[in-house]
Amino acid sequence: MGWFKALASTGKSVLKTVGDGARTVKTVAGNVDKATGGLAGKAYSAVKDYHPVAGKVLGAVEKGVNAAEKFSGLGIKAIELAERGTKIQNIGDASRALSDGKKLRSDFRRKG
Protein backbone atom coordinates (compact mmCIF):
# COMPACT_ATOMS: atom_id res chain seq x y z
CA MET A 1 0.00 0.00 0.00
CA GLY A 2 3.07 2.27 0.24
CA TRP A 3 3.02 2.82 -3.51
CA PHE A 4 -0.55 4.13 -3.27
CA LYS A 5 0.39 6.69 -0.62
CA ALA A 6 3.35 7.84 -2.70
CA LEU A 7 1.21 8.12 -5.83
CA ALA A 8 -1.58 9.94 -3.98
CA SER A 9 0.87 12.36 -2.39
CA THR A 10 2.51 13.10 -5.73
CA GLY A 11 -0.86 13.50 -7.44
CA LYS A 12 -2.13 15.91 -4.79
CA SER A 13 1.09 17.88 -4.98
CA VAL A 14 0.89 18.16 -8.76
CA LEU A 15 -2.78 19.15 -8.71
CA LYS A 16 -2.14 21.75 -6.02
CA THR A 17 0.72 23.20 -8.06
CA VAL A 18 -1.45 23.31 -11.21
CA GLY A 19 -4.29 25.04 -9.36
CA ASP A 20 -1.93 27.51 -7.71
CA GLY A 21 -0.30 28.25 -11.07
CA ALA A 22 -3.67 28.92 -12.71
CA ARG A 23 -4.67 31.28 -9.92
CA THR A 24 -1.32 33.07 -10.21
CA VAL A 25 -1.77 33.55 -13.96
CA LYS A 26 -5.21 35.06 -13.38
CA THR A 27 -3.92 37.29 -10.58
CA VAL A 28 -0.99 38.57 -12.64
CA ALA A 29 -3.25 39.23 -15.64
CA GLY A 30 -5.67 41.11 -13.41
CA ASN A 31 -2.85 43.16 -11.89
CA VAL A 32 -1.43 44.04 -15.31
CA ASP A 33 -4.87 45.08 -16.51
CA LYS A 34 -5.38 47.19 -13.38
CA ALA A 35 -1.93 48.79 -13.72
CA THR A 36 -2.64 49.77 -17.33
CA GLY A 37 -6.03 51.20 -16.47
CA GLY A 38 -7.88 48.46 -18.32
CA LEU A 39 -5.94 48.84 -21.58
CA ALA A 40 -4.31 45.41 -21.32
CA GLY A 41 -7.72 43.76 -21.00
CA LYS A 42 -9.08 45.72 -23.97
CA ALA A 43 -6.05 44.81 -26.08
CA TYR A 44 -6.42 41.14 -25.08
CA SER A 45 -10.10 41.19 -26.03
CA ALA A 46 -9.40 42.97 -29.32
CA VAL A 47 -6.74 40.45 -30.35
CA LYS A 48 -8.90 37.56 -29.24
CA ASP A 49 -11.95 38.84 -31.14
CA TYR A 50 -10.35 40.11 -34.35
CA HIS A 51 -7.31 37.98 -35.12
CA PRO A 52 -8.46 34.49 -36.14
CA VAL A 53 -5.34 32.50 -35.22
CA ALA A 54 -4.33 34.44 -32.12
CA GLY A 55 -7.96 34.47 -31.00
CA LYS A 56 -8.14 30.69 -31.12
CA VAL A 57 -4.83 30.30 -29.31
CA LEU A 58 -5.75 32.82 -26.60
CA GLY A 59 -9.19 31.25 -26.23
CA ALA A 60 -7.64 27.80 -25.79
CA VAL A 61 -5.14 29.09 -23.23
CA GLU A 62 -7.92 30.82 -21.31
CA LYS A 63 -10.02 27.64 -21.30
CA GLY A 64 -7.02 25.63 -20.12
CA VAL A 65 -6.29 28.01 -17.25
CA ASN A 66 -9.96 28.02 -16.22
CA ALA A 67 -10.12 24.21 -16.34
CA ALA A 68 -6.91 23.87 -14.34
CA GLU A 69 -8.28 26.16 -11.67
CA LYS A 70 -11.68 24.43 -11.53
CA PHE A 71 -10.67 20.81 -11.64
CA SER A 72 -7.44 20.73 -9.63
CA GLY A 73 -9.43 21.08 -6.41
CA LEU A 74 -11.81 18.32 -7.43
CA GLY A 75 -8.88 16.07 -8.29
CA ILE A 76 -7.40 16.60 -4.84
CA LYS A 77 -10.76 15.75 -3.25
CA ALA A 78 -10.97 12.58 -5.37
CA ILE A 79 -7.52 11.45 -4.26
CA GLU A 80 -8.41 12.12 -0.61
CA LEU A 81 -11.60 10.10 -1.05
CA ALA A 82 -9.60 7.23 -2.52
CA GLU A 83 -7.22 7.40 0.44
CA ARG A 84 -10.20 7.17 2.79
CA GLY A 85 -11.46 4.23 0.77
CA THR A 86 -8.32 2.27 1.58
CA LYS A 87 -9.05 2.71 5.31
CA ILE A 88 -12.70 1.57 5.34
CA GLN A 89 -13.26 -0.68 8.34
CA ASN A 90 -17.03 -0.98 8.61
CA ILE A 91 -20.33 -0.29 6.84
CA GLY A 92 -20.55 3.20 8.38
CA ASP A 93 -17.21 4.20 6.85
CA ALA A 94 -18.29 2.75 3.52
CA SER A 95 -21.60 4.58 3.63
CA ARG A 96 -19.93 7.93 4.36
CA ALA A 97 -17.36 7.37 1.61
CA LEU A 98 -20.12 6.52 -0.87
CA SER A 99 -22.06 9.62 0.11
CA ASP A 100 -18.97 11.81 -0.27
CA GLY A 101 -18.24 10.18 -3.63
CA LYS A 102 -21.72 11.03 -4.88
CA LYS A 103 -21.29 14.62 -3.72
CA LEU A 104 -17.95 14.83 -5.52
CA ARG A 105 -19.53 13.47 -8.70
CA SER A 106 -22.26 16.10 -8.41
CA ASP A 107 -19.67 18.85 -7.91
CA PHE A 108 -17.77 17.63 -10.98
CA ARG A 109 -20.88 17.63 -13.16
CA ARG A 110 -21.84 21.10 -11.93
CA LYS A 111 -18.41 22.57 -12.72
CA GLY A 112 -17.94 20.70 -15.97
Query: How sure is the predictor about 1, in pLDDT bands with cuts at 50, 70 and 90?
Result: low
pLDDT value for 99: 92
* Structural domains of the chain, count: 1
pLDDT value for 112: 65
19: containing domain: 2-111
Backbone torsions φ then ψ of 8, nearest 5 degrees: -65, -45
Type of residue at 109 = R
Average pLDDT over residues 60-74: 90
Average pLDDT over residues 22-50: 91
Report whether pLDDT(106) > 80. yes
pTM (two decimals): 0.70
CA distance linking residue 110 with residue 112, whole number of Å? 6
CA distance linking residue 62 with residue 89, whole number of Å? 44
Report whether pLDDT(39) > 80. yes
